[in-house]
Structure 1
Amino acid sequence: MDSFSLAFAIEKFPEVLRGVPATIGVAVFSMLLGTVIGLLIALCRLYRVPVLDRLCALYVSFIRGTPLLVQIYVVFYGFPLLLETVNREWGWQLPVQEMSPLLFAMLAFTINSAAYQSEVIRAALSSTEAGQMEAALSVGMTGTQGLLRIIAPQALVVALPNLGNIFINLIKGTSLAFAIKVLEVMAQAKIIAGDGYRYLEMYVDASIIYWIICWGCEKLFAKLETRFSRHERRAVA
């Protein structure tokens, strides 16, 4: 077996970088959409909406209790089958065959992210004092206004560190998307490694790229946490 080739790793590093846009794109899209879905799930569970409360709890339990790779495969193979059934039964013309693996990856990671974010958001909303909503209603605010103007800013400060962890885990989790042929960082590394039979070098390149991205995300969320905490302290004062 040949020794580790630093020159090969340096030479091919830019090629592995080509997978970064797909990696970040999947993570950002699934994080943003997952936040919206997670908030709705958290509110359904927090206010114990009939039927939806039970369904949301089952959804969260299922997603948290199954491997992400399995979820990716279920979406990749199951979603097209669902759409084909809809086309056949309802006479629609949904472009099932034209959907890219990237779209399925975004869908799978969104479904996964929403479940974890819902628990973080629910805990953050529960951490605020219940009397604040009553005070908001007493001065003429609606429930939505009280949630957005009073409860949500405080909950955001509490939830931000855990949301940052979820996003970093999404970045690392995108390495599984190569299983459905998404050309992200890991897929690029495996393709190049297969051509030159230099797997260790390419995996080292991929690990460095993931580390740099995650390190940047850690710094970003740390700054956001400091900034929002400062505003929260000013508001309390």
Structure 2
Amino acid sequence: MPNILDFGLIFTQIPTLLAYLPVTLFITFFSMLLGVMFGLVIAIVKMNKIPVLSPLASVFVSFIRGTPLLVQLYLSFYGIPIVLRYINYFYHTDFNINSVPPMLFVLVAFSFNEAAYNSETIRAALQSVSKGQIEAAQSLGMSYSQLLRRIVIPEAFIVALPNLGNAFIGLLKGTSLAFVCSVTEMTGRGKTLAGHSYRYFEVYISLALIYWALTIIIELIIKYMENRLTISDSVNTPSYRRGKLL
């Protein structure tokens, strides 16, 4: 009987694939960080209806949400060199197009994608903050930036955390597309291994087990953070905000 499925190979390949886990995690963490930062800026721009910037932000979000991530990766991969050529031509700079690291294309695409989706999550979370708290802070003379730092963003982060956690998990799995920009992460390495051994099914089972385990770990971390932040917010909340008499 032919060896249709090699169970041993499934587990022996996992250490080789895990050697590229740092690349996967780097893309995930860095893209999420930039995505949250850009998403916060977009959310604030749209909430305050800033002229010119608000329509541009809406078009950006609509375009990113309306196009596949794979297409965005290709746009980044082919578009950034074209932009650099135009900059060299019009501003007489000397950017070396061939020296651009492939990781840059990946980070730009993933960060923009996360920013577009996170902006809506963050905007909803910011709008959920009680207007009474905002008015009370303003009556104390807080500036807009102080209001954001001390009241709005901390409160909104608790509300947004579950959705941001789901976005983080989705981003972790989405990094499997990075190989189209010549970045070798776990899935890219798995594709190479499968091409050498022709054991595609076993390799992708190995990858599935790794991603599954990572997802479970991240879910547990997010749940722990949610519980901690909820308890902390409950302890630090003044009694009048909890509906109790002083």
With the length of structure 2 as denominator, give the TM-score of the two structures.
0.93
Corresponding residue of 1:207: 208
Is 66-75 or 147-156 further displaced after alignment?
Answer: 147-156
The answer to whether structure 1 residue 102 and structure 2 residue 103 are counterparts is yes
Corresponding residue of 1:14: 15
Corresponding residue of 1:112: 113
The answer for unaligned runs of 5 or more in structure 1 is: none
Corresponding residue of 2:37: 36
CA contact (8 A) 1:43 1:122 kept: yes
The answer to whether structure 1 residue 189 and structure 2 residue 190 are counterparts is yes
The one-letter code sitting in structure 1 at the alignment partner of 2:217 is: G
Corresponding residue of 1:174: 175
Q: What is the CA deviation profile of residues 63-110 of structure 1, one whole-angstrom value per residue up to 9, with x for unaligned ones?
A: 111100000000001111111110111111223211221221111100
Once residues 166 and 204 of structure 2 are traced to their aligned partners in structure 1, the CA distance between those partners, rounded to angstroms, is 23
Corresponding residue of 2:156: 155
Partner of 1:97, secondary structure, is: helix
The one-letter code sitting in structure 2 at the alignment partner of 1:137 is: Q
Is 145-154 or 94-103 further displaced after alignment?
Answer: 94-103
Q: What is the CA deviation profile of residues 119-172 of structure 1, one whole-angstrom value per residue up to 9, with x for unaligned ones?
A: 010000001122322211211211111111111111011000000000000000
With the length of structure 1 as denominator, give the TM-score of the two structures.
0.97
Once residues 216 and 30 of structure 2 are traced to their aligned partners in structure 1, the CA distance between those partners, rounded to angstroms, is 19
The one-letter code sitting in structure 1 at the alignment partner of 2:44 is: L
Corresponding residue of 2:65: 64
The one-letter code sitting in structure 1 at the alignment partner of 2:89 is: R
Q: CA RMSD in A?
A: 1.2
The answer to whether structure 1 residue 81 and structure 2 residue 82 are counterparts is yes
Deviation at 1:2?
A: 4.1
CA contact (8 A) 1:133 1:143 kept: no
The one-letter code sitting in structure 2 at the alignment partner of 1:149 is: R
Partner of 2:13, secondary structure, is: helix
Q: What is the CA deviation profile of residues 186-211 of structure 1, one whole-angstrom value per residue up to 9, with x for unaligned ones?
A: 11111000001000010001111111
Q: What is the CA deviation profile of residues 23-58 of structure 1, one whole-angstrom value per residue up to 9, with x for unaligned ones?
A: 111010000011111000000001111111111111
Deviation at 1:225?
A: 0.9
Once residues 94 and 12 of structure 2 are traced to their aligned partners in structure 1, the CA distance between those partners, rounded to angstroms, is 46
Stretches of 4+ aligned residues off by more than 2 angstroms: none
The one-letter code sitting in structure 1 at the alignment partner of 2:115 is: A
Partner of 1:160, secondary structure, is: helix
Once residues 128 and 190 of structure 2 are traced to their aligned partners in structure 1, the CA distance between those partners, rounded to angstroms, is 43
Once residues 233 and 173 of structure 2 are traced to their aligned partners in structure 1, the CA distance between those partners, rounded to angstroms, is 31
CA contact (8 A) 1:128 1:154 kept: yes
CA contact (8 A) 1:133 1:147 kept: no
